[in-house]
Amino acid sequence: MTLQQNVPRAVEAGLWFDDGNIILVAEDTPFKVHRSMLSQRSEVLSNILSVPQPPTPDESDLLDGIPVVHVSDTWKEISYVLLAFYQGYKLFGDGKPISFTVVSAFLRLGHKYEIPELQQSAISRLQTCFPVRLSDFKNAKTCDENPEDGYLHFEPPLIHMRLEEVPGVINLARAYDLLSLLPSAFYLCSFLPTRTLIDGSQDEDGNQLLLSKSDITACIDGHITLMQEDIVTISSMSGKIAPTCPSKSCLIAELFLPTKMDWISVVKESGGSLDHASWLDSNMVDICRYCKAELKTRWDRHRARTWILLCDTFGIGDTPEGWGL
Ligand SMILES: [Zn+2]
């Protein structure tokens, strides 16, 4: 691919300005942008732009004498950063959902090129979606009635991402010392098939996401621990009717509850240890509302305990500051 062939890519992204005065090249994609804009946002970029490379013969036709600077990032990553510079609030303003690949690029390139506002934007979005309080951890694996489309549906929806992309959060947390993200990220990763954990997954731009061996082990071990705790809790629920229960049929219904392993699969399908026990409302559990309320109270205690112990469950060193319900 020559630079010329990739100009339409830059035009389509809105990053080819006729009055641009510098060409930033990433992976053979040239972006015709403004030196002053880049220099204003990042001192590191400003220093890089001050030593432009002479264009190669291939480049000189296209570039008409405009200085060229090559960077080692992917063209997608650079395009996100440039779009943030040029369109900022319109595309990435507070509260607007952005994809995980953009969050990741903001954090990594924000760090590399010393652009604090990009880093901070990424960090605050990650900390909102992967919080230290259980009451703030709202997504497809903790809330009722989330569409089964593979996306996590965080609330608030600050990051648009699939479950397969969560290993990327663990890797960012490790690389940039954002350890408070780890417990909830490990919890979500524990829903991934073992094969996906071992082989790795991809983000929506095709970047490989692979955990370290020790983090894969922590995920699998943690998943087993969570399952065991779920089994203990569900076992203790059986045969316990509410003191206010008006119906003897509840006791009979509970005696004939599906086998406990069936319950486990229902729990896992609906969310897991931190869901709101929506499975209690399913037709499988035919008991009165008093007994349901009693069981939900027991499950809520289990949820709280699971959250408090999450760092131990996944072998994460110190409990993050502020960790709680
Ligand atoms: Zn009852």
What per-residue confidence (pLDDT) applies to 24? Answer: 93
Half-sphere exposure of 286 (CA within 13 A, CB side): 10
Residue 272 Cα to ligand 1 midpoint, Å, equals: 24
Residue 292 Cα to ligand 1 midpoint, Å, equals: 7
What per-residue confidence (pLDDT) applies to 2? Answer: 75
What per-residue confidence (pLDDT) applies to 298? Answer: 86
pLDDT digits (tens, 9 = 90+) for 278-313: 777 766 667 788 888 888 888 899 999 999 999 999
What is the three-class DSSP state of 101?
helix
What per-residue confidence (pLDDT) applies to 285? Answer: 65
Residue 306 Cα to ligand 1 midpoint, Å, equals: 26
- Contact (CB, 8 A) for 274 and 226: no
Please determine, for residue 245, whether its predicted confidence score (pLDDT) is greater than 80.
yes
Residue 97 Cα to ligand 1 midpoint, Å, equals: 43
Residue 255 Cα to ligand 1 midpoint, Å, equals: 12
Average pLDDT over residues 15-21: 94
Amino acid at position 312, single letter: D
Amino acid at position 91, single letter: L
Average pLDDT over residues 261-283: 70
- Contact (CB, 8 A) for 125 and 136: no
Residue 250 Cα to ligand 1 midpoint, Å, equals: 5
Distance CA 313, CA 250 (A): 34
Q: How confident is the model at residue 268 (pLDDT cuts 50, 70, 90)?
A: low
What per-residue confidence (pLDDT) applies to 97? Answer: 92
Instruction: Indicate the pTM of the whole model.
Output: 0.90
What per-residue confidence (pLDDT) applies to 109? Answer: 97
Q: How confident is the model at residue 60 (pLDDT cuts 50, 70, 90)?
A: low
Distance CA 159, CA 99 (A): 6
What per-residue confidence (pLDDT) applies to 168? Answer: 98
Please determine, for residue 258, whether its predicted confidence score (pLDDT) is greater than 60.
no
Residue 246 Cα to ligand 1 midpoint, Å, equals: 6
Please determine, for residue 124, whether its predicted confidence score (pLDDT) is greater than 60.
yes
Tokens of 59: 């480049």
Residue 217 Cα to ligand 1 midpoint, Å, equals: 42
Average pLDDT over residues 34-54: 87
Residue 271 backbone class (left: φ over 0; alpha: ψ -120 to 50; beta: rest): left
pLDDT digits (tens, 9 = 90+) for 141-193: 888 766 778 899 999 999 999 999 999 999 999 999 999 999 999 999 999 99
37, 48, 43: which is closest to 15 by C-alpha?
37
What per-residue confidence (pLDDT) applies to 150? Answer: 86
Residue 254 Cα to ligand 1 midpoint, Å, equals: 9
Distance CA 276, CA 310 (A): 17
What per-residue confidence (pLDDT) applies to 146? Answer: 67
Q: How confident is the model at residue 256 (pLDDT cuts 50, 70, 90)?
A: low
Residue 296 Cα to ligand 1 midpoint, Å, equals: 13
Residue 290 Cα to ligand 1 midpoint, Å, equals: 5
Residue 293 Cα to ligand 1 midpoint, Å, equals: 9
Angle between helices 100-112 and 166-175 (to 10 degrees): 20
Please determine, for residue 58, whether its predicted confidence score (pLDDT) is greater than 90.
no
Question: In sequence order, what DSSP letters do the residues of 104-124 get, joined into one string?
Answer: HHHHHHHHHTT-HHHHHHHHH
Mean pLDDT computed over every residue of the chain? 87
Distance CA 79, CA 14 (A): 9
Burial class (CB in 10 A: 0-12, 13-18, 19+), 152: buried
Residue 151 Cα to ligand 1 midpoint, Å, equals: 36
Tokens of 277: 């026990």
Tokens of 299: 């499950």
What per-residue confidence (pLDDT) applies to 68? Answer: 87
Please determine, for residue 5, whether its predicted confidence score (pLDDT) is greater than 90.
no
Average pLDDT over residues 244-252: 75
Residue 252 Cα to ligand 1 midpoint, Å, equals: 10
Dihedral of CA 255/257/258/259: which sign? negative
Please determine, for residue 320, whether its predicted confidence score (pLDDT) is greater than 60.
yes
- Contact (CB, 8 A) for 173 and 182: yes
Residue 242 Cα to ligand 1 midpoint, Å, equals: 6
Tokens of 199: 């082989």
Dihedral of CA 272/275/280/284: which sign? negative
Distance CA 227, CA 252 (A): 27
Distance CA 179, CA 202 (A): 22
Residue 56 Cα to ligand 1 midpoint, Å, equals: 80
Q: How confident is the model at residue 100 (pLDDT cuts 50, 70, 90)?
A: very high
pLDDT digits (tens, 9 = 90+) for 197-231: 999 999 999 999 999 999 999 999 999 999 888 88
Average pLDDT over residues 27-53: 89
DSSP assignment letter at 126: H
Residue 299 Cα to ligand 1 midpoint, Å, equals: 16
Residue 307 Cα to ligand 1 midpoint, Å, equals: 29
Gyration radius from the chain CA atoms: 25
Please determine, for residue 259, whether its predicted confidence score (pLDDT) is greater than 80.
no
